[in-house]
Amino acid sequence: MKEQKKMLERQKNVEFDIDHWRERFAKLKDILPKNWMECLAEFNAAYNTHQGSLTMTAVANKRAGLAKTAQLVTDLEQMLKAPTKPITVFDKWQKKKLLTDK
Encode pLDDT of 24-75 as tens digits: 999 999 999 999 999 999 899 999 999 999 999 999 999 999 999 999 999 9
pTM: 0.69
Q: How many helices (H) and strands (E) does the chain have?
A: 6, 0
What per-residue confidence (pLDDT) applies to 21? Answer: 94
Question: At 95, is the pLDDT very low, low, confident or very high (cuts 50, 70, 90)?
Answer: confident
Which positions ≥6 away from 72 have C-beta within 8 Å? 25, 40, 55, 56, 59, 64
Per domain, the residue ranges of the chain are 2-94
